[in-house]
Chains A and B, each alone.
Chain A
Amino acid sequence: MNEISIYHEAGLLKESPDRLIYDGSFNGFFTAVFEIFELKAFKAEIVKQVKPLPLFSNHRIVITNDSKAQRVLAGLGKKITANSINDIFAVWLSELEIVERVLLGYVLHAFNNGSCIENDYSNFFVLDFKKIVKMVSRERHRMKAFVRFSRLKDDLYYARVDPDFNVLPLIQQHFTARYSDQQWLIYDLRRNYGIYYDLHITRIIELEVIPKNESDLVHDQEQEFRLLWQNYFTNVNIESRKNTKLHVRHVPKRYWKYLTEKGLF
């Protein structure tokens, strides 16, 4: 490795970088945005840590700085409404590959424009941004619908989910407000963390061991209620209107494994 690339790595050379590498965190991303403005590197792209580091590319490593990130968000707050700030967080939770590109384009457009651009449907970044917001929104709505609690012996109501996007932070408020008189836990099996309400507050927890066989953990009456629900579900169907395509469109097969009525528990 020659000296020039070492200096590149350390971010010491003053040329405008093509690429800013950040640590994958929300504040890390907005630190990178801050530095783009600082270095006037408006053509740069922001990417997550990529191994191995390319040798001769013109990149800069971004060290996450919470106050820099907050300054960007505060500045944005003067340009767009609080709703759109929430949308930015939602887009972030999508964890899609294009997130960095779309968010950067959206944020730059917001800062560059005199008026509030959140409804500027003539801008392709805004259109993509809105599209991702919609996708995350749909998944959040589906989770509110498809979470199925099982009552455990100690009266904890427990649910497992496997959402496409990281939506637990977005459904926390809903479940806390609704189920305020029972302890509950919703666990994201894919991302290995959950949200837990203990009758006072809701917080994030991680389970070390996920029980494989739940049947010994559930309350005595639990199986009875599952059967009643399956019974109800079967009888509420109108055979002569059968429409499997429509059914699967609304309840894609990847969600079936956690739905009591599909009987795969």
Chain B
Amino acid sequence: MDFDRISEKLAILADAAKYDVSCASSGSKRKNTQKGLGNTGAGICHSYTADGRCVSLLKILLTNYCIFDCAYCVSRSSNDVKRAAFTVQEVVDLTMNFYRRNYIEGLFLSSGIFKDADYTMERLVRIAKKLRIEHNFNGYIHLKTIPGASDELMHEAGLYADRLSVNLEVPTEAGLKLLAPEKNRAEMVKPMTYVSNQLLRFKDERKSLKKIPLFAPAGQSTQMVIGAAGESDKDILITADSFYKSHQLKRVYYSGYVPVSVDGRLPAMGTLVPMVRENRLYQADWLMRFYDFNIHEIVSEASPLLELDIDPKLSWALKNMNVFPIDINTADLHDILRIPGVGLLSATKIIEGRKFSRLGWEHLKKMGIALNRARFFITCQEKKFIKRETSASRIKQFILAGSASKFSQALNPQLSLF
């Protein structure tokens, strides 16, 4: 191994890959076989970058040469950046050696498109195949789907990878036309559809036959860039919701736009990354998937943007005060999940705990419920009548005053006088 050359390539190709924020390494069922190397199962974050994001995979581009010129991408063909390309063997060696030292859970391999979609995809699949077959590697492999790749290549990819993904990047078709006119939505969706159909087929066959090979056991995901194309939160969430439903995606990632090049169609260089907005979108995404919220309860024509100073669940609660107060000891799970300050785990604890005895404030506190906000929305075996705040705006004031938001610097930038 030529370490100097690999080091140079690694610097360029890791830097180019970092804007794809998908980092998951869980959800797969691959076990170690025949005394090989590696397995999957729990997602393990082996480290965290200085920006607080988890590092669990070796995330690299095979090459950052690209024939396309998408405005938001750092590797766009018109950008003057250093270009490099790994050989298949170099990627395999890096993956195996990092894995053996427990630095990573596996490989995340993407690429710029050189020559054409199939040529590029074939290289990616070849690396995954080599790891699995020649090196008996059973760790996690996440392969990017190249838009326009053929069904045959996608089939092979599914046999060797744990997760496949193709990034929609721009939430609306109109935005995509503006920022990446050489691409089209249909080309991205086609391989996604092929894989989701295969997943259903394999799942079906597994019911009757036990010995079915694994096919993308960790499913599919996608990513959308936030804040590059002037889209609203409603646009983003509606796209996410429809893809969750139509393609049974495991995750949608929301990545705040980081200005990487000078272009009139995009926010200027130096624009701050919309981190608060990104966080609210993840919270809204969670509400839809785990808290039984309908998308229309979160965003609508009338309010297409999420509030930045409070989370979407609290925002909903304040707009629907008629639903509260909710009695902790009698309400069903659906209602308990609506209480601000009560998460999924706490909701389970409440449901389970009350089978044994009535719950009081002390129990709720010990369960880890955020009482400073939940108290405005619940009743729980009170012995005396407590005067309740019923005005939504007063409640919001109390909650904001009583909590220390991690975003308070971003939302209320204060000038230092000294």
Q: Which residues of A contact B (CB under 8 A)?
A: 117, 119-124, 127, 141, 144-151, 157, 159, 177-182, 221, 224-225, 227-229, 231-233, 235-247, 249-251, 259-261
The 14 listed contacts between A and B (C-beta, < 8 Å) are A122-B353, A147-B102, A151-B101, A178-B37, A227-B3, A229-B98, A231-B14, A233-B49, A236-B18, A238-B18, A249-B52, A251-B47, A260-B101, A261-B47
Tell me which residues across on chain B come within 8 A of A179, comparing CB atoms. 37-38, 100, 102
Cβ-defined partner of B359 (8 Å) among A122, A141, A245, A251 = A122
* CA of A120 to CA of B359, assembled, Å: 11
Known: A240-B273, A247-B48, A247-B50. A119 touches B100 (CB 8 A): no
User: Of B54-62, B230-238, B370-378, which binds chain A?
Assistant: B54-62
* CA of A141 to CA of B205, assembled, Å: 35
How far does the Cβ of A233 sit from chain B's closest Cβ, in whole Å? 7
Tell me which residues across on chain B come within 8 A of A241, comparing CB atoms. 51-53, 256, 258, 273, 275
Q: Does B363 contact A (CB under 8 A)?
A: yes
Complex: chain B residue closest to A130, CB-CB: B349
A233 touches B47 (CB 8 A): yes
**Most chain B CB neighbours (cut-off 10 Å) among A150, A245, A246:** A246
A228 touches B94 (CB 8 A): yes
Complex: chain B residue closest to A126, CB-CB: B353
Complex: chain A residue closest to B352, CB-CB: A119
* CA of A122 to CA of B100, assembled, Å: 45
Q: Does B201 contact A (CB under 8 A)?
A: no
Known: A232-B14, A235-B10, A238-B18. A149 touches B366 (CB 8 A): no
The 10 A-B residue pairs with the shortest CB-CB distance, nearest first, are A246-B52, A121-B353, A241-B51, A119-B352, A121-B349, A243-B52, A237-B49, A250-B48, A235-B14, A122-B353
Tell me which residues across on chain A come within 8 A of B355, comparing CB atoms. 119-120
B352 touches A120 (CB 8 A): yes
Tell me which residues across on chain A come within 8 A of B357, comparing CB atoms. 122
Complex: chain A residue closest to B52, CB-CB: A246
* CA of A141 to CA of B44, assembled, Å: 7
* CA of A180 to CA of B52, assembled, Å: 32
How far does the Cβ of B86 sit from chain A's closest Cβ, in whole Å? 13
B32 touches A242 (CB 8 A): no
A119 touches B353 (CB 8 A): yes
Q: Does B15 contact A (CB under 8 A)?
A: yes
Q: Does B35 contact A (CB under 8 A)?
A: yes
How far does the Cβ of B343 sit from chain A's closest Cβ, in whole Å? 14
Tell me which residues across on chain A come within 8 A of B359, comparing CB atoms. 122
B103 touches A177 (CB 8 A): no
Cβ-defined partner of A157 (8 Å) among B17, B31, B100 = B100
B11 touches A231 (CB 8 A): yes
B102 touches A148 (CB 8 A): yes
B36 touches A145 (CB 8 A): no
Tell me which residues across on chain B come within 8 A of A225, comparing CB atoms. 97-98, 101
Q: Does B46 contact A (CB under 8 A)?
A: yes
How far does the Cβ of A223 sit from chain B's closest Cβ, in whole Å? 10
* CA of A163 to CA of B38, assembled, Å: 23
B3 touches A145 (CB 8 A): no
* CA of A233 to CA of B51, assembled, Å: 12
How far does the Cβ of B236 sit from chain A's closest Cβ, in whole Å? 19
B51 touches A247 (CB 8 A): yes
Cβ-defined partner of A127 (8 Å) among B47, B366, B406 = B366
Tell me which residues across on chain A come within 8 A of B47, comparing CB atoms. 145-146, 233, 251, 259, 261
* CA of A232 to CA of B14, assembled, Å: 6
Tell me which residues across on chain B come within 8 A of A121, comparing CB atoms. 349-350, 352-353, 356, 363, 367
Cβ-defined partner of B3 (8 Å) among A144, A224, A235 = A224
CB 8 Å contact bits of B148-170 with A (1 = contact, 0 = none): 00000000000000000000000
A231 touches B32 (CB 8 A): no
* CA of A160 to CA of B33, assembled, Å: 27
Cβ-defined partner of B103 (8 Å) among A144, A229, A235 = A229
Contacts beyond the supplied A236-B49, A240-B273: 17 A-B pairs with Cβ under 8 Å: A117-B356, A123-B356, A144-B44, A149-B102, A178-B32, A178-B39, A228-B98, A231-B11, A232-B10, A233-B47, A237-B49, A237-B50, A238-B19, A238-B51, A245-B52, A246-B48, A247-B52
Complex: chain A residue closest to B59, CB-CB: A236
Q: Does B73 contact A (CB under 8 A)?
A: no
Cβ-defined partner of A149 (8 Å) among B7, B14, B100, B367 = B100
* CA of A182 to CA of B37, assembled, Å: 8
B37 touches A181 (CB 8 A): yes
Q: Does B45 contact A (CB under 8 A)?
A: yes
B46 touches A145 (CB 8 A): yes
Known: A181-B37, A250-B45. A237 touches B18 (CB 8 A): yes
* CA of A238 to CA of B257, assembled, Å: 11
* CA of A246 to CA of B52, assembled, Å: 5
How far does the Cβ of A195 sit from chain B's closest Cβ, in whole Å? 14
Q: Does B123 contact A (CB under 8 A)?
A: no
**Most chain B CB neighbours (cut-off 10 Å) among A121, A151, A235:** A121
Q: Does B354 contact A (CB under 8 A)?
A: yes
Q: Does B308 contact A (CB under 8 A)?
A: no
Complex: chain A residue closest to B38, CB-CB: A178
Tell me which residues across on chain A come within 8 A of B42, comparing CB atoms. 141, 144
Tell me which residues across on chain A come within 8 A of B53, comparing CB atoms. 238, 241
A251 touches B48 (CB 8 A): yes
How far does the Cβ of A69 sit from chain B's closest Cβ, in whole Å? 28
B101 touches A149 (CB 8 A): yes
